Amino acid sequence: MKTKYSLIGLLTAAGVSLAACAAPTAQPAQPAQPSEPAATQAAAPVEISLRWRTRPDNKEEADVYAKISDEVAQKLGVKLTYEPGGSETSSYQDVLRTELAAGTAPDVFWIPGTDIADFVQRGLLLDLRPYANATPGYSDSNYYPEPMFHLTYNPETGKPGEVLWGLPRDVSTFVLYLNMDLINEAGAPDPRELAKEGKWDWAAFKSTAEKVNALGGDIKGYGMNAWWGPYGAFMNAAGGGFFNAERNACNLNSKASLEGLAFARGLYDAGIAVPYGEDSEPPFRAGKVGMFQNGRWATPGISTVTFNWDVVELPKGPSGHMGNWLFWGAYVVNKNTKHPEIAWKLVDALTQADVQAQVAARGTNIPSRVGESVFAEFLKILPDKNNQAFLNGLADKPTAEGPLWTGSWPDFDQVMGAKVSDVLTGKLSVEEFGKTVCDEAGKAFKQ
Amino acid sequence: MTRSTFASASSAPGSGRALTLLAGWHVALSVALVGGALATLNSAAASEALRIAAAIGLALAASGSAAATLFIARRNHLGRTLSLVVNYIVFLACLIGLAHTLGVFMGLDDLADYMARGFPFGMGALFVVGYFISTTALHERPVSLARRNLGRVLMALGAIGFLLTAGVVPALASLPGKYISGNLLPLALTAGVMTTGYLLWSMWRGESARAMGAKNIHTERLNGWLFLSPNLLGFILFFAGPLLFSLYVSFTNWDSFNKRDWVGLDNYRRVFNLTVQALKTANQPAGDVIDVRVYDELLRANLFGQSYLIGAEDKRFWISLRNTLVFGLLAVPLAVIPALALAALLNSRLPGMRFYRTLYFIPSVAAVVGVALIWQWMYNSQVGWINYFITNAISLINSVLGSNIKDPQIRWLADSDYALLSVVIMSAWQWLGFNTVLFLAGLQTIPRELYEAATVDGANPGQQFFNVTLPMLAPTTLYVLTTTTIQALQVFDQVFIVSNGTGGPGTSTLTMTLNLYQNGFQSFRQGYASALAWVLFVVIFAFTLFQFRRQRRASGAYDM
């Protein structure tokens, strides 16, 4: 009996293995494909694997991309495989880099703006300029100029415009998400009105945070998360920044950068901010934080809260600007793709206005194309909210989230992030930070 | 039957002609494998390291095959062993290569996805139902033949339906196309599978064994190696191979993509490069005494009134080493001592103990990522449960006792003074259950007679614990301590999740494995990361060796 069962098991296993020889053809939808002759197979649609990043807890966005993938496939007459990338916490970039090293990365993929230089200098991306030049209607000026500077930067000549490493998927920028119930209860002036009147600056912002904080209990006036974006905005608003103008040296110890950091530190010293290092989103969503600094990607999650919420642009700092970021990421093409032309067509199709509008409708990001019609469409999303705050942020000289063409961004960020964390948690003074940070972070520029 | 009479002129397995043919096969195989090794070395199809590794593997197989030829010619049983080993490896290589060429692995992936959703799953269920009916019928008295046959029919229908719906028919139809597509590889691999398969069968048979002078002990050894082979091959391919590769990489500046220059011991030099400089004043800037283009200030110390500054070329390595050791020093006792106490409690015969044994084991089988995320929420200083309980407890104490204890509002993961401790508590909690089960198993092997004798001698429970339980648990304790220490020194998942991969706040949760990961997979310094991995290996090895030696001394003392 045991022999019989072993034989049946063996035969079944062999059968399954055999069936696997033609598994893609074994699916009910396409039963005849596996047995097609080789000549027919050669004429079959070209298969391109596509992966891009989705944000955590956002399956809906992944579904939108899957739908777009099907539509683009039909439009281009090719077969696309959409692979939803992992969330931010599952190290999307680390996984992608490992796949690139192993030669198993997809043909087209999304990477954040900070990674462009690293990927280009390791020879991982295809220059799309020849394909773009041959495409009617294509122009670099269709997109925000800040990301296009980096996406067209030629590291060999040091000039922009000569090459094309990809096209921006979307852009985003910081705003302050407001708990209007808390702000009204605290008797603070409406930040949106102050912004309209041009009175929304650091002093007004701090005053509002203090008033909300004074409500007592575990209520906090302000919250931001622990990464380079939020504190970088304070440095930018003070007129400083991470790098010098040429982006080839550390600028964290400049007077303006330190002023911005000192202002941020003051929020923590005064106890009006959610402790640095804590995720500020849960307490904000729990109705315990007056103002929460984050990008457009936080909108879907926050839109589910039960209190009265809205957004306002960042307050203006001593430089007279908000110091906001222009966050962006791009679709790029794997240098080892076997179908470079189709891959370019895919990238181009994915960044068309109608496709970007479908994604933007989810509320997670802002189209990377420029133009009044694009802005008008964006303003229609969540019409009762102050969408204009995002556009104002993008219009007020934002600093583009940018790669380091003459250094290593991960190395720079590791040193800067640890030191800033020490400052904002009270372990290191701003002065000490200024004395040592560039000695350590500056080593990132050696490479 | 003597060897000479067995080696007759027939071509049956083990016959003289068959063995001569087999020797010829091994000559041809040796030549082919040497050719393959040379071709692999000169190929540009894969990375250099892979080519070298493959060429070494092929050369070793060629040597084995050549040696097999000689021993077979002498009718030495070693020839049979070598022939079986070489043919087994070639058979597996051809089989895996054929499966890959025919797209079986990718297809299985697709099938798994399809079957989880589709009809074949139902067919599989039919097979299981048939099996159930058939086997239960056998247990009836009298045996219900009708039900047994019904079960068999259902099983057959299920198996056939399963294969049909999984697509075996179109697959079979597509197979010839893959063989006649102009690519000779599937044909060659199939020939390889069939040839080596036949030779394996032939050489395995008793006639061949006797003809080659193999004794029962040789056959038993081969059986042992055969059973061991899946694990052994897996170990060589997926553990020992990468381990040696990482040692090689640690002497290069490989970035995973392009450059891989031999840099000798430079990575190790950078890891350990320190400078110690005397300071004129305690606050003298680091830039005055060390070259800040190379070194970062690691720490300042005062010895006998003289201030010193220690600089490190890789400051993060030393910080991660300190954090890892502190983590181990805190987490190991926390995960071991309470586990022993808990095991002693669960070893009692109180009602409900089985339920509690299961309950305490649950954290050990829970996914680390899920556990870390839940703890992250609990640790939130604003809306987390831990601070909520602390606040309420303090309020209660203050109201009952009239005291004025201040709520500390600990920022568990946001304060660098508490972050590592938070991870220690979380990890110890998760490891506790597994250690408890190990201790429990150890406790249950201690003979009751020892306790009875101790009771007769007048030992109280405390004395029994220290003089009977602990010494008898020594081997379990060593195992628990060793495995927990290794786990602690390799801590990664927990810190990666709670610090979002940064090792923050500051560098307070930067452990050696996280630092290694950041270097290898974020900054893509694979060479340097490999060097860090080997340093970590040495640290763990040193700790383990220390524990073993200590245990040996303790055991010796006990034995005396």
For residue B52, the model assigns a pLDDT of 84
pLDDT for A30 beyond 50: no
CA distance A336 to A106: 9
B413 neighbourhood in chain A, CB within 8 Å: 277-278
Cβ contact B167–A22 (<8 Å): yes
pLDDT for A155 beyond 70: yes
pLDDT for A55 beyond 90: no
Residue B116: exposed, middle, or buried by beta-carbon count in 10 A (0-12, 13-18, 19+)? exposed
In the numeric block, the tokens 């992936």 are attached to B109
CA distance A381 to A360: 8
CB of B131 closer than 8 Å to CB of B150? no
For A35, which of B166, B174, B500 is closest by C-beta distance? B174
pLDDT for A19 beyond 70: no
How far, in Å, are A186, A261, A352, B36, B398 from residue A211 at the CA level?
A: 6, 22, 45, 78, 29
For residue A16, the model assigns a pLDDT of 65
Task: Name the 3-class secondary structure at A291.
Answer: strand
User: Among A238, A224, A240, A239, which residue's Cα sits nearest to residue A176?
Assistant: A224
Mean pLDDT, range B419-442, rounded to an integer: 94
CB of A265 closer than 8 Å to CB of A328? no
A16 neighbourhood in chain B, CB within 8 Å: 108, 111, 163, 166
The residues facing A309 across adjacent strands are A179
A vs B: CB pairs below 8 A: 206
pLDDT for A221 beyond 50: yes
User: Among B248, B250, B200, which residue's Cα sits nearest to residue B226?
Assistant: B200
pLDDT for B161 beyond 50: yes
Q: How confident is the model at residue A5 (pLDDT cuts 50, 70, 90)?
A: low
B166 neighbourhood in chain A, CB within 8 Å: 15-16, 19, 26
Sign, CA torsion B239/B244/B246/B247: positive
Residue B164: exposed, middle, or buried by beta-carbon count in 10 A (0-12, 13-18, 19+)? middle
Q: Could you read off the pLDDT of B377-399 as tens digits, one per residue?
A: 899 888 889 999 999 999 999 99
Domains A49-171+327-400 and A174-323 in one fold = yes
The residue of chain B nearest to residue A35, with distances taken between CA atoms, is B174
Q: Which has the higher per-residue pLDDT, A1 or A429?
A: A429
Chain mean pLDDT for chain B = 87
Q: A14-23, A119-128, A360-369, B261-270: lowest mean pLDDT where?
A: A14-23
pLDDT for A27 beyond 60: no
For residue A384, the model assigns a pLDDT of 87
Query: Nearest C-alpha of chain A: how many angstroms from B503?
Result: 8
Residue B432: exposed, middle, or buried by beta-carbon count in 10 A (0-12, 13-18, 19+)? buried
For residue B91, the model assigns a pLDDT of 94
For residue A96, the model assigns a pLDDT of 86
Q: B169-183, B291-305, B493-507: lowest mean pLDDT where?
A: B169-183
pLDDT for A48 beyond 60: no
pLDDT for B4 beyond 50: no
CA distance A260 to A237: 7
CA distance B539 to B545: 10
Q: Could you read off the pLDDT of B167-187 as tens digits, one per residue?
A: 777 777 777 777 777 778 888
ipTM: 0.82
In the numeric block, the tokens 């007048």 are attached to B458
Query: Nearest C-alpha of chain A: how many angstroms from B94?
Result: 15
Q: Could you state, in order of their start, the residue ranges of all structural domains in chain B?
A: 16-105+183-249, 107-179, 274-312, 317-555
Query: Nearest C-alpha of chain A: how many angstroms from B209?
Result: 25
pLDDT for B118 beyond 80: no
Correct CATH for B317-555 of 3.40.630.10, 3.30.70.250, 3.40.50.150, 1.10.3720.10: 1.10.3720.10
Mean pLDDT, range A264-281, rounded to an integer: 94
Q: Which CATH superfamily does the domain covering A49-171+327-400 fall into?
A: Periplasmic binding protein-like II (3.40.190.10)
Mean pLDDT, range A101-125, rounded to an integer: 89
For residue A348, the model assigns a pLDDT of 94
CB of A143 closer than 8 Å to CB of A168? yes
Mean pLDDT, range A283-288, rounded to an integer: 94
Q: Which has the higher per-residue pLDDT, B558 or A446?
A: A446
Residue B344: exposed, middle, or buried by beta-carbon count in 10 A (0-12, 13-18, 19+)? middle
CB of B99 closer than 8 Å to CB of B105? yes
Total residue count of chain B as it appears in this document: 560
DSSP secondary structure of A171-201: EE--EEEEEHHHHHHHTPPPHHHHHHTT--B
For residue A225, the model assigns a pLDDT of 94
CB of A260 closer than 8 Å to CB of A323? yes
pLDDT for B556 beyond 70: no
What tokens were used for A17? 């293995």
- One-letter-per-residue 3-state SS of A369-434: ECCHHHHHHHHCCCCCCCCHHHHHHHHCCCEECCCCCCCCHHHHHHHHHHHHHHHHCCCCCHHHHH
Q: Residue B391: which H helix or E strand, with range?
A: helix B385-401
For residue B352, the model assigns a pLDDT of 80
Mean pLDDT, range B342-348, rounded to an integer: 89
Q: Which has the higher per-residue pLDDT, B439 or B261?
A: B439
Q: Could you state, in order of their start, the residue ranges of all structural domains in chain A?
A: 49-171+327-400, 174-323
- On the question of a cis peptide bond just before residue A410, with omega within 30 degrees of 0, the verdict is no
For A278, which of B109, B177, B380 is closest by C-beta distance? B380
CA distance B6 to B513: 61
CA distance B524 to A433: 27
What is the CATH code of the structural domain delimited by A174-323?
3.40.190.10
User: Among B434, B326, B416, which residue's Cα sits nearest to residue B371?
Assistant: B434
What tokens were used for A93? 């970039």
- Residue B481 CA, chain-centre distance (Å), reads 19
Q: Could you read off the pLDDT of A172-185 as tens digits, one per residue?
A: 999 999 999 999 99
In the numeric block, the tokens 């296993």 are attached to A13
CB of A121 closer than 8 Å to CB of A155? yes
For residue A88, the model assigns a pLDDT of 52
